[in-house]
Amino acid sequence: MADNEWSPLPSQTITMNVTGRERNDVYYQMAVDGSAIEAYLNLGGSVEVRPILPYQLDPGLHSATVTIRACAQVACTQELEGSPKTVNVTYERRGLKVSVSPLDFTVRNGASTSERTRSFTVIGYPEQTWFLDTDQSWLTLSRTMGSTADPTPVDVVVDESGGLLKNGLYRPTLRVVGPIQTAYVWVNVNIDRTEIHTVAPYLGVLFGEREVIVRGANFNAADVTGVQFGGVDATSFNIVSASEIRATTPGSLGTGSHAITLTGNAASALSDANFKVVAPAPYVSTRLPLPSGAAPNAQPGAIAYDAVGQRIFVAVDQPEGTPDFVARYTYQPIGAGSWARANAYTSYNSLKAMTLALDGDSLLLSETGATWPGTAGSNSGMALSNLKLDGSRYATLHSGWTDNFINSIAAANDGRAVMVSAAISGGRRPVYRYSSLSPVTDAAGTWYAPSFDQVVLGTGAEDGWFDNGVAGAAGDGSRVLIASSAAAAQMYEYDSATSTMRSIDQIMQAASIQLDRTGSRILLNNTHVYDRDFQLLGQLPANTIAAVFSPNLPRIYAYDSTGQLSSYDLTGTSVTPIRSWSPSASAGDPNRRVVMTITAEGWTLLIAGTDGVLVEYIPDNAR
Q: Is there a contact between 580 and 597 (Cβ–Cβ < 8 Å)?
A: no
% pLDDT > 70, the chain: 93
- CA distances to 295, 298, 300, 325, 612 from 292, in Å: 8, 11, 14, 12, 11
Q: C-alpha angle 243/190/230, rounded to 5°?
A: 45
pLDDT band for position 43 (cuts 50, 70, 90): confident
Q: Is there a contact between 51 and 36 (Cβ–Cβ < 8 Å)?
A: yes
Cite the beta strand spans of 232-337 per DSSP E. Answer: 232-233, 236-241, 244-248, 256-264, 270-271, 274-278, 286-288, 299-306, 311-317, 324-332
Spell out the domain ranges in the chain.
12-93, 96-191, 196-278
Q: Is there a contact between 485 and 510 (Cβ–Cβ < 8 Å)?
A: yes
Q: Which residues fall within 8 angstroms of residue 107, CB to CB, at 6 or more apart?
A: 115, 116, 158, 165, 189, 190, 191, 192, 193
Q: In sequence order, what are the beta bridge partners of 508? A: 489
pLDDT band for position 49 (cuts 50, 70, 90): very high
How far is residue 436's CA from residue 362's CA, in Å, rounded to a whole number? Answer: 9
Better-scored residue on pLDDT, 457 or 589: 589
How far is residue 609's CA from residue 435's CA, in Å, rounded to a whole number? Answer: 31
pLDDT score recorded for residue 437: 57
> 3-state DSSP call for residue 610?
coil
What's the whole-number mean pLDDT along residues 545-570?
97
pLDDT tens digits for 336-372? Answer: 789 998 776 766 888 999 999 888 988 999 988 888 7
What's the whole-number mean pLDDT along residues 156-179?
94
How far is residue 590's CA from residue 565's CA, in Å, rounded to a whole number? Answer: 13
pLDDT score recorded for residue 441: 39
How far is residue 568's CA from residue 526's CA, in Å, rounded to a whole number? Answer: 13
Q: Is there a contact between 556 and 540 (Cβ–Cβ < 8 Å)?
A: yes
pLDDT score recorded for residue 611: 95
How far is residue 313's CA from residue 343's CA, in Å, rounded to a whole number? Answer: 10
pLDDT tens digits for 400-436? Answer: 778 888 999 999 998 889 999 898 888 888 888 887 6
pLDDT band for position 265 (cuts 50, 70, 90): confident
With 0-12 / 13-18 / 19 or more C-beta atoms within 10 angstroms meaning exposed / middle / buried, residue 532 is middle
What's the whole-number mean pLDDT along residues 518-538?
97
pLDDT band for position 224 (cuts 50, 70, 90): very high
What's the whole-number mean pLDDT along residues 266-272?
91
Number of other CB atoms surrounding residue 404 within 10 Å: 19
What's the whole-number mean pLDDT along residues 189-218?
95
Whether the link from the prior residue into 126 is cis, omega within 30° of 0, is yes
Q: Is there a contact between 334 and 387 (Cβ–Cβ < 8 Å)?
A: no
pLDDT band for position 442 (cuts 50, 70, 90): very low
How far is residue 318's CA from residue 53's CA, in Å, rounded to a whole number? Answer: 66
The torsion defined by the Cα of 146, 148, 151 and 154, in degrees rounded to 10, comes to: 40
pLDDT score recorded for residue 81: 87
Alpha carbons within 13 angstroms on the beta-carbon side of residue 321 total 1
pLDDT score recorded for residue 174: 97
Range of lowest pLDDT (32-41, 276-285, 312-321, 446-455): 446-455
- Among 618, 600, 622, 593, smallest CA distance to 301 is for 593
- CA distances to 123, 127, 143, 177, 370 from 146, in Å: 10, 11, 8, 10, 57
Residue 74 clears pLDDT 80, i.e. is over it:
yes
Q: Which residues fall within 8 angstroms of residue 275, CB to CB, at 6 or more apart?
A: 199, 202, 203, 204, 212, 229, 230, 249, 253, 257, 258, 260
Q: What φ, ψ does residue 490 adopt, rounded to 5°? A: -60, 130
> Which is it for strands 274-278 and 236-241: parallel, antiparallel or unpaired?
unpaired
Q: Is there a contact between 115 and 105 (Cβ–Cβ < 8 Å)?
A: yes
pLDDT band for position 565 (cuts 50, 70, 90): very high
Cite the beta strand spans of 72-135 per DSSP E. Answer: 85-93, 95-98, 103-107, 117-120, 122-125, 129-134
The fold of the 196-278 domain, in CATH, is: Immunoglobulin-like (2.60.40)
Better-scored residue on pLDDT, 254 or 266: 254
pLDDT score recorded for residue 451: 54
pTM of the entire predicted model: 0.84
pLDDT score recorded for residue 370: 83
pLDDT band for position 388 (cuts 50, 70, 90): confident
pLDDT score recorded for residue 392: 61
Give the DSSP H or E segment for 529. strand 528-531
- Among 138, 47, 144, 129, smallest CA distance to 96 is for 129
What is the domain class of 12-93 according to CATH? mainly beta
% pLDDT > 90, the chain: 66
Q: Could you report how far apart the first and last alpha carbons of the chain are, in Å? A: 87
Output the DSSP codes for 172-216: -EEEEE-SS-EEEEEEEEEE---EEEEEES-EEETT---EEEEEE
Q: Is there a contact between 261 and 222 (Cβ–Cβ < 8 Å)?
A: no
Cite the beta strand spans of 375-525 per DSSP E. Answer: 377-388, 393-399, 404-411, 416-423, 428-429, 431-435, 453-454, 466-467, 469-473, 479-484, 489-495, 500-508, 513-515, 521-524
Kindly provide the b/e burial profile for residues 250-284, where b requires at least 16 CB atoms within 10 angstroms of the residue's own CB: beebeeeebebbbbeebeebbbbbbbbbbebbebe
> Which is it for strands 576-581 and 565-569: parallel, antiparallel or unpaired?
antiparallel
pLDDT tens digits for 102-160? Answer: 999 999 999 999 999 999 999 999 999 999 999 899 999 999 999 999 999 999 999 99
Residue type (1 letter), 149: A
pLDDT band for position 447 (cuts 50, 70, 90): very low
What's the whole-number mean pLDDT along residues 381-397?
75
How far is residue 318's CA from residue 297's CA, in Å, rounded to a whole number? Answer: 7
pLDDT score recorded for residue 460: 55
Q: Is there a contact between 249 and 229 (Cβ–Cβ < 8 Å)?
A: yes
Whether the link from the prior residue into 583 is cis, omega within 30° of 0, is no
How far is residue 498's CA from residue 505's CA, in Å, rounded to a whole number? Answer: 19
How far is residue 267's CA from residue 350's CA, in Å, rounded to a whole number? Answer: 47
- Among 222, 210, 165, smallest CA distance to 189 is for 165
How far is residue 512's CA from residue 535's CA, in Å, rounded to a whole number? Answer: 18
pLDDT score recorded for residue 382: 85
Q: Which residues fall within 8 angstroms of residue 67, CB to CB, at 6 or more apart?
A: 30, 31, 32, 33, 84, 85, 86, 87
pLDDT score recorded for residue 569: 97
How far is residue 347's CA from residue 351's CA, in Å, rounded to a whole number? Answer: 10
pLDDT band for position 302 (cuts 50, 70, 90): very high
Same fold for the pair 12-93 and 196-278: yes
Range of lowest pLDDT (27-41, 202-216, 437-451, 486-500): 437-451
CATH number of 96-191: 2.60.40.10
pLDDT score recorded for residue 449: 44
Q: Is there a contact between 97 and 123 (Cβ–Cβ < 8 Å)?
A: yes
Residue 443 clears pLDDT 50, i.e. is over it:
no
How far is residue 322's CA from residue 388's CA, in Å, rounded to a whole number? Answer: 24
